[in-house]
């Protein structure tokens, strides 16, 4: 996957395998903090799921914070350059490995920024271990089976659940340049003209990693989906949400209903017009500005 200038790949070992992550270690990001300790606060970025997903999803955003924060942007297990175990992935796998990643890389509660279904899973991680999280900034956090909906019963999910056919569909319909572009146009972006060749290239490289189909098919089958409304009232971590008005299958009304269920924790909900599932790729400058606003807002809430 494409790595921004000055960032390097590092890794940790989780119980499901090795997890790669990206952090700034070279020029132009080597700066001293005002107290000259060299220790910056940590900011973690977690990507969502889909054909070819990886930490690249946040690569147009996280360098903007590299002078002020120690950036950690992992490829989740089964995605990008992380290990791809041969297994049928479950929600608990990602709750566990997200928590393991934070335990091994962070020494204090930190802000976590996460996207789409991973953002919903991160809410569950924060419910399980609130002491690890200072705040959450989430783009389109939906469990994809919210408020009684059942994504796994959809035609496509049922189709991809067919043995042998699932691998054929992945290799011919997902892990190709045309399949990636189609997925991005139909699932992630409100405006296809915002999808430039580098994005397709990065997603395709991730989708073609050995055994990449296991996590992707678990996602498409609905193995990772759940009803976030069953958990949202348990959240205590200060949270802000950004929601694309044209998110496919997860419209902003879902975000509004979730926010209304727990206004004590969910301090802000911003709906962006003419944006799909991943504002961090469609409108990175706007996303950066909103993250800055919410880091300040939620940081004050902790004081």
Say if 247 falls within a structural domain: yes
Residues 125, 130, 132: CA angle, nearest 5 degrees: 85
Residue 288 and residue 65: Cα distance in Å, rounded? 9
As given in the structure block, the two tokens for residue 25 are 């270690």
Please tell me the chain's helix, strand, coil percentages from 3-state DSSP, rounded to the nearest 5: 45, 20, 40
Cβ atoms 23, 10 nearer than 8 A: yes
Q: Which domain holds residue 44?
A: 7-302
Per-residue pLDDT of 132-182, as tens digits, reads 999 999 999 999 999 988 766 665 566 566 666 677 888 888 889 999 999
For residue 2, tell me if it sits in a domain: no
Residue 36 is predicted with a pLDDT of: 47
pLDDT for the residue numbered 167: 77
* Spatial contact of 265 and 123, defined as CB atoms under 8 Å apart: no
Phi/psi of residue 19, each to 5°? -110, 120
Predicted pLDDT of residue 248: 80
Give the separation between CA 50 and CA 204, rounded to whole angstroms: 11
Q: Under 8 Å CB-to-CB from 181, ≥6 apart: which residues?
A: 195, 200
Q: Per the structure block, which two tokens stand in for 112? A: 């976590």
Domain assignment of residue 65, yes or no: yes
| pLDDT (tens digit per residue) in 181-234 | 998 998 899 999 999 999 999 999 999 999 999 999 999 889 999 999 999 999
> Got the DSSP string for 137-151?
EEES---BSGGG--G
Do the Cβ atoms of 235 and 206 come closer than 8 Å? Answer: no
Q: Considering just the CA atoms, what is the radius of gyration of the chain in Å?
A: 18
Number of helical H runs and strand E runs in the chain = 10, 8
- Identify the CATH number of the domain in which residue 278 sits: 3.40.50.1820
34: DSSP letter: T
Q: State the Cα–Cα distance between residues 52 and 296, nearest whole angstrom.
A: 32
Examine residue 1 and state whether it is found in any structural domain, yes or no: no
If you search the block for the tokens 């990001």, which residue do you land on?
Answer: 29
Residues 121 and 211: their CA atoms lie apart, in Å, by 23
> End-to-end distance of the chain based on CA atoms, in angstroms?
38
Assess if residue 278 is contained within a domain.
yes
CB 96 within 8 A of CB 15: yes
Residues 237 and 64: their CA atoms lie apart, in Å, by 24
Q: What is the pTM of this model?
A: 0.94
The 10s digit of each residue's pLDDT in 36-91 is 456 899 999 999 998 899 999 999 999 999 999 999 999 999 999 999 999 999 99
- Asked whether residue 292 is domain-assigned, the answer is yes
Residue 121's nearest CA partner among 19, 217, 231 is 231
Number of structural domains (the chain) is: 1
Q: Which DSSP state fits 278?
A: -
In a domain, 231, yes or no: yes
Does position 33 have pLDDT exceeding 60, yes or no? no
Query: What tokens were used for 96?
Result: 């566990």
Question: In the chain, how long is the greatest CA-to-CA distance?
Answer: 59
Please state, in angstroms and rounded to a whole number, the distance separating the CA atoms of residues 256 and 260.
6
The answer as to whether 141 is a domain residue is yes
- The confidence score (pLDDT) of residue 249 equals 80
């Amino acid at each position: 996957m494409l790595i921004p200038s000055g960032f390097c790949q590092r890794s940790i070992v989780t119980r499901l395998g090795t997890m790669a992550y990206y952090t700034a270690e070279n020029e132009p990001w080597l700066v001293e903090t005002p107290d000259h300790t060299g220790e910056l606060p940590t900011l973690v970025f977690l990507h969502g799921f889909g054909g070819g997903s990886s930490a690249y999803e946040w690569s147009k955003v996280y360098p903007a914070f590299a002078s002020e924060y120690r950036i950690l942007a992992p490829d989740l297990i089964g995605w990008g350059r992380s290990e791809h175990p041969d297994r049928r992935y479950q929600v608990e796998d990602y709750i566990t490995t997200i928590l393991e990643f934070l335990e091994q890389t962070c020494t204090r509660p930190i802000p976590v920024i996460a996207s789409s279904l991973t953002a919903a899973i991160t809410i569950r991680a924060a419910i399980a271990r609130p002491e690890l999280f200072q705040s959450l900034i989430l783009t389109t956090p939906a469990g994809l089976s919210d408020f009684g909906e059942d994504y796994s019963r959809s035609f496509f999910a049922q189709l991809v659940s067919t043995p042998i056919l699932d691998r054929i569909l992945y290799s011919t319909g997902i892990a190709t340049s045309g399949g990636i572009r189609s997925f991005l146009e139909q699932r992630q972006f409100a405006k296809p003209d915002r999808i430039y060749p580098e994005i397709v290239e990065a997603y395709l490289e991730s989708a073609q990693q050995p055994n990449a189909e296991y996590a992707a098919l678990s996602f498409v089958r609905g193995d990772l989906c759940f009803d976030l409304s069953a958990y949202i009232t348990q959240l205590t971590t200060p949270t802000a949400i950004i929601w694309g008005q044209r998110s496919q299958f997860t419209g902003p009304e879902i975000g509004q209903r979730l926010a209304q269920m727990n206004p004590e924790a969910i301090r802000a909900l911003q709906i962006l017009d003419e944006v799909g599932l991943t504002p961090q790729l469609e409108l990175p400058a706007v996303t950066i500005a909103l993250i800055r606003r919410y880091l300040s807002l939620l940081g004050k809430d902790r004081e």
